[in-house]
Amino acid sequence: MTMGLGLAACASPKPALTNLPTPAPVAKPVFTAEQAKALATSECLACHGPVSTPYYPTLRGMSAEEIALALRNFKSGTKTGRVMPQIVKTMSEEQIAKVAAYLGGQSG
Ligand code: HEC
C-alpha cells in the first residue's frame, strides 16, 4: 500500500500565494459580427424558419430593433415564453444587439 506516501504528498506545504505578478487586466471579450452571424445561423434560425409554425414564429419581417426589443423583454421578464427566456439568459447586451442586427431585415 502506498497510502502513507499519498497522504504525505497531500500534506506537503502549499506554495505561498504572495508575490504573484499582478495579472494583466482582462480585455472585455468582443462579440464580433462574424460570431453573431454564426450564432444566428446555427442557433436562432434552427428554430426560426422562414415561415411561422404553431411552435416557432418566424423572425422574417422583423426589424433589428423589434428583435432586440423582444430579446430584452424576454430577458427582463416583460415578455414571457416557453423557450426564449432560457436562451436570452445567457446572452449579453452586446450579443443581443449584434444578433438582432444580423437577423433584422434579412430575408431568411
Ligand atoms: C429552441 C428553439 C429556439 C431557438 C434556438 C431560438 N428561438 Fe426564438 N423563439 C422560440 C419560440 C418557441 C418562441 C415563442 C416564444 C417562446 O415560447 O419562448 C420564440 C420567440 C422569439 C422572438 C419573438 C418573436 C415574436 O413574434 O414576438 C424573437 C425575436 C426570437 N425568438 C429571437 C430569437 C433569436 C435572436 C434567437 C437566437 C439567439 C432565437 N430566437 C433562438 C424558439 C427558439
pTM for this prediction: 0.80
Pocket test for ligand 1, best of 62, 87, 91, 94 (most atoms within 8 A of CB): 87
Give the tens place of pLDDT for each residue, 30-46. 899 999 999 999 999 99
Nearest CA to ligand 1 atom 25: 57
Domain boundaries, the chain: 30-108
CA 27 → CA 30, 31, 59, 74, distances in Å?
Answer: 8, 12, 33, 28
Give the tens place of pLDDT for each residue, 43-86. 999 999 999 999 999 999 999 999 999 999 999 999 999 999 99
Q: Which positions ≥6 away from 52 have C-beta within 8 Å?
A: 58
Pocket test for ligand 1, best of 35, 37, 47, 65 (most atoms within 8 A of CB): 47
Task: Look at domain 30-108 and name its CATH class.
Answer: mainly alpha
